[in-house]
Copies of this chain bind each other. A is one copy, B any other.
Amino acid sequence: MEIISVKTNRKVELLDITSEVQKKVPSNKSGICILYVPHTTAGIIVNEGADPSVQEDILNVFATFVPEKFSYKHLEGNSPGHVKSSLTGPSITLIVEKGKLVLGTWQRIFFAEYDGPRNRKVYFKFIEGE
């Protein structure tokens, strides 16, 4: 298992970590890799990276149905982050072919920060397989 360190800059943010993930992939090997976020107010999202407006639209819509103001019982003020984290999930599995992440043309891997800014970690695990 390897660790990718991520430093987020805002309360809520999508941070492109594609190249950091690619660097962890063993060269010339094929299989899968698992990205795992050990936090409860963050996650991983794979989506379009070309137009930053897409990232804004995703986060803005999330904020409409997971509102900041609600009859939350958890008193730390970060319940919206816990809810968003439950929806997008803590992990993602990607395919690796000959040392390269298999992504679609427009896909980038984003660390999803829902309660930042913070220093965060993403665990990386490669499993070899033809």
Q: Could you tell me which A residues sit within 8 Å of B by CB distance? A: 1, 30-32, 34, 36-40, 45-48, 51, 53-54, 56-58, 60-62, 64-67, 70-76, 79-80, 82-83, 85-95, 97, 102-107, 123, 125-129
Contacts and interface: CB of A to CB of B under 8 A. Distances in A.
Question: A-side binding surface: helix, strand, loop or mixed?
Answer: mixed
A95 B93 CA distance: 11
Nearest to A46: B90
Contact of A127 (B31, B61, B70): B31
A97 B123 CA distance: 12
A13 to B, nearest CB: 14
Given A90-B46, A90-B92, A57 B34 contact: no
